[in-house]
Chains A and B, each alone.
Chain A
Amino acid sequence: MAAEGTSAMAASHFADAEQRETAATFGMWIFLATEVLFFGVLFAGYTVSRVQHAEAFILAGRHTDVLLGSINTAVLLTSSLTMALAVRAGSVGWRRSCAAWLVLTAVLGVAFLAIKGYEWHEDWLQGLVPGLRFAYSGPDAPGVELFFFLYFVMTGLHALHLTIGILVIAVMALLAARGRFSAAYHTPIVLTGLYWHFIDVVWIFLYPLFYLVSRS
Chain B
Amino acid sequence: MTTIAAEGAPSYISAGYTLRSWLTTRDHKRIALLYGVSILFFFLVAAAAAAMIRLELLTPAGDLVDDDTYNKLFTVHGVVMVWFFLIPSIPSTFGNFLIPLMIGAKDVAFPRLNLASWYIYTLGGLFVVVTLIAGGVDTGWTFYTPYTTMFSNSHVILAVTGVFIVGFSSIFTGLNFIVTVHQMRAPGMTWFRLPLFVWAHYATSLVMVLATPVLAMTLALIAIERLLGVGIFDPALGGDPLLFQHLFWFYSHPAVYIMILPAMGVVSEVITCFSRKPVFGYQFMVYSLLAIAAVGFMVWGHHMFVSGQSMYAGMVFSLLSFLVAIPSAIKVFNWTATLYKGSVRFDAPMLYALGFIGLFMMGGITGIWLAALAADVHLTDTYFVVAHFHYIMVGGAVMAFFSALHFWWPKVTGRLYPDGWARAGAIVMFVGFNLTFFPQYIAGYLGMPRRYHVYPPEFQVLNVLSSGGAVVLGVGYLLPLLYLWWSLRRGRLAGANPWGATGLEWQTPSPPPTYNFASAPRVEGPPYAYQAGGTDGR
Contact = CB atoms under 8 A, between A and B. Distances in A.
B271 interface: no
A149 interface: yes
B9 A153 contact: no
A28 B267 CA distance: 32
Interface in A1-27: 1-4, 6, 9-10, 12-15, 19, 22-23, 26-27
B513 A130 contact: no
A131 B238 contact: no
Contact of B237 (A1, A12, A42, A142): A142
A196 to B, nearest CB: 19
Contacts of A67: none
A39 B209 CA distance: 14
Interface in A121-153: 130-132, 134, 142-143, 145-146, 149-150, 153
A2 B12 contact: yes
Contact of A2 (B9, B179, B212, B229): B9
Contacts of B212: 34
A23 B9 contact: no
Contacts of B515: 1-2, 9, 13
Contact of B111 (A9, A40, A48, A134): A9
A49 B240 contact: yes
A41 B179 contact: no
A142 B238 contact: yes
A63 interface: no
Interface string A43-78: 011001100110000000000000000000000000
Contact of B210 (A12, A15, A33, A49): A33
Contact of A150 (B10, B182, B228, B232): B232
B217 interface: yes
A145 B217 contact: no
B230 A149 contact: yes
Given A27-B110, A49-B240, A149-B230, A1 B214 contact: no
B15 interface: yes
Given A2-B515, A13-B111, A27 B237 contact: no
A146 B175 contact: no
B520 interface: yes
Given A2-B12, A15-B520, A34-B171, A23 B109 contact: yes
A203 to B, nearest CB: 18
A4 B515 CA distance: 10
B240 A131 contact: no
Contacts of B183: 19, 22-23, 26
Interface stretch (B23-31, B39-47, B129-137, B373-381): B23-31
Given A34-B212, A37-B213, A27 B179 contact: yes
Interface in B201-218: 209-214, 216-218
Contacts of B238: 49, 52-53, 142-143, 145-146
A131 B229 contact: yes
A contact residues, range = 35 or more
A111 interface: no
Contacts of A41: 213-214, 217-218, 221, 247
A100 to B, nearest CB: 30
B107 A9 contact: yes
B239 interface: yes
B396 interface: no
B237 A146 contact: yes
Interface string B227-261: 11111100001111001001100000000000000
Nearest to A42: B217
B400 interface: no
A3 B243 CA distance: 54
A79 B103 CA distance: 42
Contacts of B513: 1-2
A39 B221 CA distance: 12
Interface in B349-369: none
B179 A131 contact: no
Main secondary structure of the interface of A (DSSP, over half): helix
B406 interface: no
Contacts of A27: 109-110, 175-176, 179
A48 B232 contact: yes
B178 interface: yes
B276 interface: no
A30 interface: yes
Given A19-B183, A26-B183, A41-B218, A34 B243 contact: no
A6 B25 contact: yes
Nearest to A145: B230
A31 interface: yes
B429 interface: no
A153 B175 contact: no
A169 B230 CA distance: 35
Interface string B368-400: 000000000000000000000000000000000
Contacts of B182: 23, 26
Contacts of A142: 237-238
Contacts of A19: 183-184
A9 B178 contact: no
B106 interface: yes
Interface in A145-192: 145-146, 149-150, 153
A59 to B, nearest CB: 13
Contacts of B79: none
Nearest to B515: A1
Contacts of B224: 153
Contacts of A26: 178-179, 182-183
B490 interface: no
B403 interface: no
B112 interface: yes
A165 B229 CA distance: 31
B435 interface: no
A14 B515 CA distance: 11
Nearest to B14: A2
Given A2-B10, A130-B228, A131-B230, A34 B209 contact: yes
A124 to B, nearest CB: 14
B419 to A, nearest CB: 31
Contact of A45 (B15, B112, B178, B243): B243
Nearest to A34: B213
Contact of A34 (B15, B210, B229, B240): B210
A31 B111 contact: no
Given A10-B111, A10-B112, A33-B209, 6 more contacts: A1-B518, A26-B182, A30-B178, A52-B238, A142-B237, A149-B231
Which 8 A-B residue pairings sit nearest by Cβ, starting from the closest? A131-B228, A2-B514, A142-B238, A41-B217, A38-B213, A130-B230, A13-B107, A37-B213
